[in-house]
Amino acid sequence: MSMTVRYRGTYTIKPETATWTGQLPLSELDQIGIITHVPTIYFYKPPPEWLHPADAIFDTLRGSLSRTLVPFYPLAGRLRWLEGGRLQLECNAMGVCFIEAESEGELNDLGDFSPRPEFEQLLPLLLVQVTKFKCGGLTLSFSMSHAVADGPSALHFMTEWARLARGERLSVEPYYDRKVLWAGDDPSSTLPPRPQHLEHSEFNPPPLLIGHTNNLEERKKKTTVAMLKLTRTQVETLKNAANKERAGQHHPYTRYETVAAHIWRCACKARKHKPEQPTAVGICVDSRHRLHPPLKLGYFGNATLDVVAAGMSGELVSSPLGCTSSKIREAIERVTHDHVRSAIDHIRRQPDLTLFQDVHALGSTRGPFYGNPNLGVVSWLTLPIYGHDFGWGREVHMGPGNHDFDGDSLVLPSLEEEGGLVVALCLQIAHMEDFKNFFYEDIVE
């Protein structure tokens, strides 16, 4: 599909009133993992033209964004690189980029909204772009630096922006004191030695394909994206299969633990791994409620930690689904208060953080790569990703703006059926069709 986008105007949106200026400390969790911008895109049906003309919609979004940047003032600042790959956040109210655009295409042209090259014209260069389609439909896309906010924080911003756009008041004030994650402490004087019994396999390089000494060849292979839907019945069938040997136990495997295990097993099959092939899955765990005390409501920053489940491909595909789910659970349960504190200590003592930073979106070959024989399975199941009404109705779809790295996958709740799920998956082209077949054929009682 060819999509022509015409840009109407580009604006620098600054906070509506004066905000605090100065250097805001970043925690260690802000400075590892994905540190580039992460794009997300929302699609809206055509609002009544007489009620919401395009110019009024653009005005509403610009004005409400300016008001939202008052409490969320760090987003109007700038990041600065420091020695050793570290970052510093300057709160200076310089503003964010807001792009208005129009497209001759129609929403129906986008099919099931799977991420595709055409989306690049709908994504912002820095932060926000709103595009009006010929049919009257809209896309609202925002691209936020992951060094400033993780998923829960980014969605907190979106939720509050939508509230202000509707003329409502702020619901939850953002909280910026990163000292709750020990930011700014001198490790030589304030951090105790890291407990020797705590291992941090999440910082080790992921496995390579047998016979390979690096992952450069795998990084170059062409990929494709699929949006795979699971009905509520299919989800329940997978859960029942995973929990078959846990009947009567108090803590059955969750939807995420079950579906992530299913994705992992199917990927091993589709990639035709040797039985002795080591493989790992990266799991993003929110530590907000795992710390003592829990982080304050509205904490704005990165409070997630990536952990790893590992195994042999032959073992994963030949064992019951529950065995693979148990590996996922064990990795998640490692994220305790002590583990997070120990991980932060470990990161802080590194002279160079670039080895811990994922910048493959910039074409770099450094940083962790969770493509073949590995993958990452990120859950958006508990995040408030839907219901962002800016005054003309809720979205009809939301999802990642681009998603083109082998092994990347997201698990989202379905908008079409309560209890259903959607898996947004990127794999090498050579493996996708086999994966799809295993993904549905392996859902058995």
Kindly report, residue by residue over 343-352, the tens digit of the pLDDT.
Answer: 998 888 888 8
pLDDT of residue 106 exceeding 90: no
Distances (CA, A) of 152 to 132, 156, 295, 327, 428: 27, 6, 12, 25, 29
128-174 pLDDT, tens per residue?
999 988 888 899 998 898 889 999 999 999 999 999 999 999 999 99
- Concerning whether 404 is annotated as a catalytic residue, the answer is no
Please check whether the two domains, 5-181 and 199-441, share a CATH topology: yes
For the chain, the helix, strand and coil percentages under 3-state DSSP, each to the nearest 5: 35, 25, 45
pLDDT of residue 1 exceeding 50: no
Mean pLDDT over 415-423 rounds to 94
Task: Give the model's pLDDT for residue 112.
Answer: 59
Distance separating alpha carbons of residues 67 and 236, to the nearest angstrom: 43
Task: Give the model's pLDDT for residue 108.
Answer: 67
Higher pLDDT, residue 110 or 433: 433
CB burial of residue 323 (10 Å; 0-12, 13-18, 19+): middle
8 Å CB contact between 258 and 239: yes
Task: Give the model's pLDDT for residue 192.
Answer: 53
Task: Give the model's pLDDT for residue 123.
Answer: 38
pLDDT over 70, % of the chain: 87
Q: How confident is the model at residue 120 (pLDDT cuts 50, 70, 90)?
A: very low
* pTM (global) more than 0.85: yes
Least confident of 90-99, 127-136, 294-303, 364-373: 364-373
Helices (H) and strands (E) in the chain, counts: 10, 17
Domain range 5-181, CATH class: alpha beta
| Torsion, CA 89, CA 151, CA 158, CA 5, rounded to 10 | 90
pLDDT of residue 193 exceeding 60: no
CATH superfamily of 199-441: Chloramphenicol acetyltransferase-like domain (3.30.559.10)
Mean pLDDT over 82-102 rounds to 89
Mean pLDDT over 274-302 rounds to 96
Annotated active-site residue in 30, 37, 52, 146: 146
- Concerning whether 146 is annotated as a catalytic residue, the answer is yes
Annotated active-site residue in 389, 404, 434, 442: 389
pLDDT of residue 92 exceeding 70: yes
363-380 pLDDT, tens per residue?
455 566 789 999 999 999
Mean pLDDT over 299-327 rounds to 96
Q: Both tokens of residue 376?
A: 């990452």
What DSSP character marks residue 253?
Answer: P
pLDDT of residue 429 exceeding 50: yes
- Determine the distance from the C-alpha atom of residue 129 to the mean position of all C-alpha atoms in its chain, rounded to a whole number: 19
Mean pLDDT across the chain:
87
Distance separating alpha carbons of residues 243 and 360, to the nearest angstrom: 37
Distances (CA, A) of 145 to 35, 78, 365, 391: 7, 10, 20, 26
Q: How confident is the model at residue 18 (pLDDT cuts 50, 70, 90)?
A: very high
pLDDT of residue 50 exceeding 60: no
Q: How confident is the model at residue 258 (pLDDT cuts 50, 70, 90)?
A: very high
Task: Give the model's pLDDT for residue 122.
Answer: 39
- Domain map (residue ranges) of the chain: 5-181, 199-441
Higher pLDDT, residue 202 or 307: 307
Alpha helix (H) ranges present in 334-395?
A: 337-348
Task: Give the model's pLDDT for residue 247.
Answer: 64
- Comparing C-alpha atoms, which of 342, 421, 335, 319 is closest to residue 380? 421
Higher pLDDT, residue 218 or 3: 218
The β-bridge partners of 280 are 310
Provide DSSP, 66-80.
Answer: HHHTTTTGGGGSEEE
Higher pLDDT, residue 400 or 16: 16
What DSSP character marks residue 405?
Answer: S
